Amino acid sequence: SRVTHFDAEVLAVRGSQAELRARHHMERRLRSGIVNGDLRLHYQPLAEVASNRIVGAEALARWADDELGPVAPIDFIKIAEETGLIVDLGRWALRSACREAATWPMFESSDGIRRRMKVTVNVSAVQLSQPSFVQDVSNALVESGLLPRCLCLEITETAVIGDMEATAKILQDIRDLGVTIALDDFGTGYSSLTMLRDLPADVVKIDKSFIDKIADETSTDSVLARLVIETAHSLGMGVCAEGVETNEQAERLADMGCDTLQGWLISKPLPGSDAFTQWLPTAVL
Ligand code: C2E
Ligand code: CA
Ligand code: CA
Ligand code: CA
């Protein structure tokens, strides 16, 4: 039978009600998952081009619920941000990552220098705007005994859309603790240059979308990646490329002077640090 305009509207409303119920359900499950310790962190190693060694790892949240099964981070992080659950989730991620990283071994690089691994933790806008945020970071360091310079916080451009000046002040307070700041997913927002100008940061992470076509020297993405690397270096910042999957991409990035590489070419995110701490003294690329 024919679907009338009215029927279609009713169906659309019913559809969105079902969606809403599903979201509420996921929100409830996530809330209890955070409280019950059902979330885990996986770690994706970061390779330094100059030394050809792993020098750190990014902590990435994972959640497998008894009822819902494994939920993609992009989905549960979105719900966490919309419901404010990201504050508890983020505090948990920060504390867990610091505690874990404090146990990572030191290693000797090819130049005979003893080095410590860094851990990077994602921070969302809602978390950053909490009055207790700087104190939370400081507490996580004291509790774990992790050296501040071994912690890096990743901030995305969308996290800063609000008040640039207030954000800059918070980031500077964090840096005063000795913690470093990375601008995540760089280039995907509409205010990348403003961010470079107005925010105190130590590292730029070039988004994967610019890396995908980088093996083609004539691609716009390739030209832009080079521009980002040169600009960041001129401003005294380091550069990390995200989502590096092929040797060609790694070679191009190394030629362009990119400092660190992250992506499946080096390793997928791993459930624990056991695996990659074993490769610390060996070449990764
Ligand atoms: P992100 O911070 O940009 O993290 C990088 C994402 O790219 C991760 O996805 C990682 O698994 C994936 N990835 C890394 N290398 C490659 C590669 O070579 N190829 C491809 N195709 N993908 C690669 P994941 O783990 O699904 O996380 C998605 C996003 O969820 C993260 O993006 C981050 O924005 C957010 N997220 C994860 N954990 C946390 C957290 O603890 N707090 C907050 N606020 N956000 C988090
Ligand atoms: Ca990140
Ligand atoms: Ca990213
Ligand atoms: Ca991303």
What per-residue confidence (pLDDT) applies to 284? 81
Q: How confident is the model over 13-61, as pLDDT tens digits?
A: 777 888 889 899 999 999 999 999 999 999 999 999 998 989 999 999 9
Please identify, by atom number, the ligand 1 atom nearest to the C-alpha of residue 244.
Answer: 18
Q: Strand locations in the chain, DSSP E?
A: 39-48, 53-65, 69-71, 107-108, 114-115, 118-123, 151-156, 180-186, 203-206, 238-241, 260-261
Instruction: Give the Cα separation of 34 and 135 in Å (integer).
Output: 21
- The pLDDT of 6-13, averaged and rounded, is 70
| Degrees, nearest 5: CA angle 151-152-155 | 150
Question: Does the model's ipTM exceed the 0.85 cut?
Answer: yes
- Cα(184) to centroid(ligand 2), Å: 5
Q: How confident is the model over 188-221, as pLDDT tens digits?
A: 887 789 899 999 999 999 999 999 999 998 999 9
Q: Is the CB of 269 under 6 A from ligand 1?
A: yes
Please identify, by atom number, the ligand 1 atom nearest to the C-alpha of residue 81.
Answer: 44
β-pair partners for 153: 121, 181
Q: Is the CB of 56 under 6 A from ligand 1?
A: no
- Cα(185) to centroid(ligand 4), Å: 5
Pair of tokens at residue 165: 């000046």
Q: Is the CB of 77 under 6 A from ligand 1?
A: yes
Mean residue pLDDT of the chain comes to: 91
- Cα(205) to centroid(ligand 4), Å: 10
Q: Tell me how far the alpha carbon of residue 177 is from its chain's centroid.
A: 20
Pair of tokens at residue 173: 């307070």
- The bound ligand whose nearest atom lies closest to the alpha carbon of 159 is 1
Share of the chain above pLDDT 70, in %: 93
Q: Is the CB of 211 under 6 A from ligand 1?
A: no
79's enclosing H/E stretch is: helix 73-83
- Model's pTM, two decimal places? 0.93
What per-residue confidence (pLDDT) applies to 260? 98
Please identify, by atom number, the ligand 1 atom nearest to the C-alpha of residue 121.
Answer: 41
Please, are residues 242 and 205 in contact by the beta-carbon 8 Å criterion? yes
Q: How confident is the model over 106-162, as pLDDT tens digits?
A: 887 767 788 889 999 999 989 999 999 999 999 999 999 999 999 999 998 776 667
